[in-house]
A and B are shown apart, each in its own frame.
Chain A
Amino acid sequence: MMELQQSLAMVFDWQVLLVILGASIFGLFIGAIPGLTATMATALLVPLTFFMDPLPAIGAIVSATAMAIVAGDIPGALLRIPGTPASAAYTDEAYLMGRQGKVGQALGVNLACSVVGGVIGVAILAFFAPLVAEFAIQFTSDEYFWLALLGLSCAVLVSGTDPVKGAISMLLGLLISMVGMSSVSGQMRFIFGVPELLNGIAILPVLIGLFAIAELLRRLPEIGTISLSKMPLVKKPFEGVGGLLWKYKGGVARSSLLGTLIGALPGAGADIASWISYALARKLSRTPEKFGTGHPEGLVSASSANNAALSGAYIPALVFGIPGDTITAIIIGVLMMKGITPGPDVFTTDAVLVNAIFIVFILANILLIPLGLLAIRSARHILSVPHGVLYPLILLFCIVGAYAANNSMLDIWIMLILGLFAYVMVEHNFPIGPMILAVILGPVVEGNFLRSMIKANGDLLMLFDRPIAATLGTLAVLVWVAIIASALMSAARSRPNVANKENT
């Protein structure tokens, strides 16, 4: 009980509350602008969190992402352009509801379901994370090696349709993580005579480059292509929302649960959760033919799932230090910069902090209601901010942000180069998620492997000696078999495609 009181005192500090409010408004703005993602909001926030204590830092990221995902629904319903990828699954549905004069209801459903999904996700997180942590406390380097490898492998498997490109992206991330001095042997690697690289490539410029600069490069040429003329006025949000929620309560519960589980899988985040929940809702619906015509059932499911997934991703992140999605990968990076290594020990040594994080989650989700309403009301104004003004401002913010952590111009170069690189990769359908996960997990995989080998005198089979390690190891091997099989299948499949194209 003492701990809970301490946690509450930590959260209800005016500075922390101010940070949460500020970050929510920032997330609202970024999420509502088409093309700017929740991950980008996080990447832009990190330079500021660098100067904060751990709790406000995490609070800022948690509230900004939750708000960005909710605000991402707004341009979807108004303009048929999803604000963030997590809204893409049900953009058409929400827009068509708007066409029927129910735009207020569509956005109200989005908002209400997001809050319900988010709160259910947090409840599952707060209940299960300490249990899993208790179980994980006996893990050694063997288990952590396999767990991190499993995280990387799952990230490749679920990253997209093309596992080969996912794997290449992951391997490139591992290469980035190996620059600098090896943590186990002290050997310098790939520093090319640049002394500033001795400590490795800093995480901040990597994040900003991969998620902000690359996005900026993709969006800049599109300036002026979005027309605001046909935007409908939002009337009476929340009209009939309670009734709809009650009618589809099964869908809300199922999707929140499913969303949390998908979020907890490494590599699968809010966007995948919302696609899968939407598809499942259609399959289980009594009226599947109404899906895609402005029917709220899919909307209810998918918008509960994407916010639940945000919380779910924190289970592996807090318990094992294995990120569940790109946003938690960033959070782990932030915590490590502050000298906290997420893992089961955190639940005993920093129990107050962990509880405080859960409270922040609940607070951020409750804050969605007033701020979400504000966002819906002011959508027209946010959407009419000229992108030609906004993007240069984001660019300057990126530059100063990349510089801020180490006061190093080299970091700005790294940001630019990786941004250009990620831009080319995304244009060629390489997913970026596996890359950032690999940058974070690379040292974990390598360090634990070498530690295990030192203990086992170089006997590889000892990695399978402990029962949990053996189970995790087998799983990791199975996932790799699946990756290789689907890579080979994709190579084989490309042949009939060509034949078809030539015939038509």
Chain B
Amino acid sequence: MRIHDFILGLLTVLLGTITVWLSKDFPSLPRQDYGAGTFPTLVAVLLIAMGLILCLRGWIQKGPLIVWQDAIPIGHVLFCIMAVVAAVAGYILLTPTLGFPIVSLIMLTVLIGVFTKGRWWLAISVATVATLIIWLTFAELLLVPLSLGILEEVIY
């Protein structure tokens, strides 16, 4: 997908403006003109300037505001993006209750199954081995506190 440079420029200008507004109250250092607000304001002003150039260039070039030009259909691309977002969000929301092993097993099985177009046995076996290896490396070897969730009651 290609969003026109004009819109991207506008978004940049908007972000710059918000940053200027958010940085206006940062105090300067004692007996100085400069302080915590200097750099954010400078960066924001430069963002606005670059955004305006992008807008101007987009305005001259014309063309449709949003266009799909890839060989891969938009539906498939959106599906892949949504799959990643759902997997990550699901991991964050479900791990504290279900625990890492269960979430990882389900997530990998579903993703691999879907992306290999239904090789579910492969998906389940890879997911099991991978979950085990990651658990052993991170939780046991590197002592990262990956949550056990409901499994905690089962094991202890």
Which residue numbers of A lie inside 8 Å of B, CB to CB?
Answer: 48, 51, 164-165, 167-168, 171-172, 174-175, 178, 182, 184-185, 187, 189-190, 213, 216-217, 220-225, 386-389, 391-393, 395-397, 399-400, 403-404, 407, 409, 412-413, 415-416, 419-420, 423, 427-428, 442, 445-446, 449-450, 453-454, 457-458, 487-488, 490-491, 494-495, 497-498
Cross-chain contact B116 with A389 (CB below 8 angstroms): yes
Beyond contacts A190-B40, A393-B108: 12 other A-B pairs, Cβ-Cβ < 8 A, are: A164-B53, A168-B12, A168-B51, A172-B47, A174-B39, A185-B35, A217-B81, A388-B119, A389-B116, A415-B88, A449-B38, A449-B39
Cross-chain contact A388 with B81 (CB below 8 angstroms): no
**Which residues of chain A have C-beta atoms less than 8 A from B83's C-beta?**
220
Cross-chain contact A412 with B116 (CB below 8 angstroms): no
Chain B 18-62 interface mask (CB, 8 Å, partner A; 1/0): 010011001101011111101110010011001101101100111
Bound-state CA distance A178–B47 (Å) is 15
> Provided the pairs A185-B27, A221-B77, A416-B85 are in contact, do residues A453 and B145 lie with their beta carbons within 8 angstroms?
no
Q: Name the one of A392, A404, A445, A453 contacting B34, with C-beta atoms under 8 angstroms.
A: A453
Q: Name the one of A175, A184, A392, A403 contacting B29, with C-beta atoms under 8 angstroms.
A: A184
Least CB distance from A22 to B in Å reads 12
> Provided the pairs A171-B47, A412-B92, A420-B85 are in contact, do residues A495 and B76 lie with their beta carbons within 8 angstroms?
no
Cross-chain contact B36 with A400 (CB below 8 angstroms): no
Cross-chain contact A213 with B43 (CB below 8 angstroms): no
Least CB distance from B55 to A in Å reads 10
Leading 7 A-B pairs by shortest Cβ distance: A388-B115, A187-B36, A392-B111, A388-B116, A220-B80, A185-B36, A182-B36
Bound-state CA distance A442–B56 (Å) is 28
Cross-chain contact B12 with A392 (CB below 8 angstroms): no
Least CB distance from B7 to A in Å reads 10
Cross-chain contact A491 with B50 (CB below 8 angstroms): no
Bound-state CA distance A185–B28 (Å) is 8
Least CB distance from A29 to B in Å reads 15
Q: Name the one of B27, B43, B89, B146 contacting A178, with C-beta atoms under 8 angstroms.
A: B43
Q: Which residue of A lies closest to B22 (CB)?
A: A190
Cross-chain contact B57 with A490 (CB below 8 angstroms): yes
Cross-chain contact B88 with A498 (CB below 8 angstroms): no
Least CB distance from A218 to B in Å reads 9
Least CB distance from B84 to A in Å reads 6
* Chain A interface SS verdict (over half): helix
Bound-state CA distance A404–B123 (Å) is 25
Q: Name the one of B2, B36, B62, B88 contacting A427, with C-beta atoms under 8 angstroms.
A: B2
Bound-state CA distance A389–B144 (Å) is 25
> Provided the pairs A222-B72, A457-B31 are in contact, do residues A491 and B60 lie with their beta carbons within 8 angstroms?
yes
Least CB distance from B18 to A in Å reads 10
Cross-chain contact B40 with A178 (CB below 8 angstroms): yes
> Provided the pairs A458-B34, A491-B56, A498-B60 are in contact, do residues A400 and B43 lie with their beta carbons within 8 angstroms?
no
Cross-chain contact B115 with A391 (CB below 8 angstroms): yes
**Which residues of chain B have C-beta atoms less than 8 A from A392's C-beta?**
87, 107-108, 111-112, 115
A-B contact pairs, 29 of them (CB 8 A): A164-B53, A164-B57, A168-B50, A168-B51, A178-B39, A185-B36, A187-B26, A187-B36, A189-B40, A223-B115, A388-B117, A389-B122, A392-B108, A393-B130, A400-B134, A404-B138, A412-B91, A416-B84, A427-B1, A428-B2, A428-B3, A428-B8, A450-B34, A453-B34, A457-B31, A458-B34, A494-B57, A498-B61, A498-B62
**Which residues of chain B have C-beta atoms less than 8 A from A453's C-beta?**
29, 32, 34
**Which residues of chain A have C-beta atoms less than 8 A from B61's C-beta?**
494, 497-498
